[in-house]
Structure 1
């Protein structure tokens, strides 16, 4: 599922970023550009990030 339409960031991209040590939306933004255009995705991205972190 796409989380950030502006930069075509998917849930799998977030999972990969978490695997590389991302633990915040700011770090996800650095790795994927998520939320750097319109910012509408950051809340949902944070939810996905928390889900991924809880599975680890």
Structure 2
């Protein structure tokens, strides 16, 4: 789904940025331009980013648990 209509950024693109190493809203914003024009999407985009980062950390923790 489109999160930022102004820049054409989807939730999938935000999640992909996190998958590629972004760990903050600032990282996602700089990489995608999301939230840099009108700003109406910023609150929701931050939520999507936060959720994706939490999921990435949980996956990393699971990977460490299996490695032990």
TM over 0.5: yes
Bigger relative contact order, structure 1 or 2, given CA contacts below 8 A and separation 6+? 1
Offset of residue 7 of structure 1? 0.5
Say yes or no: does 1:7 pair with 2:11: no
* Counterpart position of 2:50: 50
Offset of residue 47 of structure 1? 0.5
Q: TM-score, normalised by structure 1?
A: 0.89
Offset of residue 14 of structure 1? 0.2
Structure 2 unaligned segments of length 5 or more: list them.
Answer: 57-68
Offset of residue 24 of structure 1? 1.7
| Cα RMSD (Å) | 0.9
- Can you list the C-alpha shifts for 1:15-55, whole angstroms capped at 9, x where unaligned? 11001211222211111010110011111011001111121
* Counterpart position of 2:23: 23
Instruction: Flag the structure with higher helix content.
Output: 2
Q: Where has structure 1 moved over 2 Å in runs of 4 or more?
A: none
